[in-house]
Amino acid sequence: MRDDRNTALDPIYLRTLLRVNLTTSLTYFGVFMILILGGPILVWIYPWLATTRLWTLPLPWLYLGFAGFPILVLMGWRYVLAVEEDEAEFSDLVDAP
């Protein structure tokens, strides 16, 4: 078990954890932006997609309303798992003898 004394490596460990968390956050943000902005960009490039209808609903609405939210929920769930894994590895590293 680790005692509460500060070691010389604590700032390095903390900086490493912050860097890993920032990398994970920026990766998920990039994927999020591609998924969310991908639909409007496709409609801008291919205007006929805006008038395409499935089940009487415009295709962009279906993409953002029905496909977008489950994707965002799954991304959020996976992000939390990834951060928890990173923090568990950090905790194991700090608590190692």
- What the block records as the tokens of 58 is 């415009």
Taking alpha carbons only, the member of 18, 17, 37, 32 closest to residue 79 is: 32
Per-residue confidence (pLDDT) for residue 1, from 0 to 100: 47
**With a threshold of 0.85, does the pTM exceed it?**
no
Res. 81: pLDDT tops 90: yes
Count of alpha carbons within 13 angstroms of residue 29, beta-carbon side = 6
Q: What backbone torsions phi and psi does residue 6 show, to the nearest 5 degrees? A: -75, 140
> Is the sign of the CA dihedral 53, 48, 35, 61 positive or negative?
negative
Res. 96: pLDDT tops 60: yes
- Pairing of β 53-54 and β 57-58: antiparallel
Tens-digit pLDDT profile for residues 22-68 = 999 999 999 988 888 888 888 889 888 888 888 888 888 888 777 77
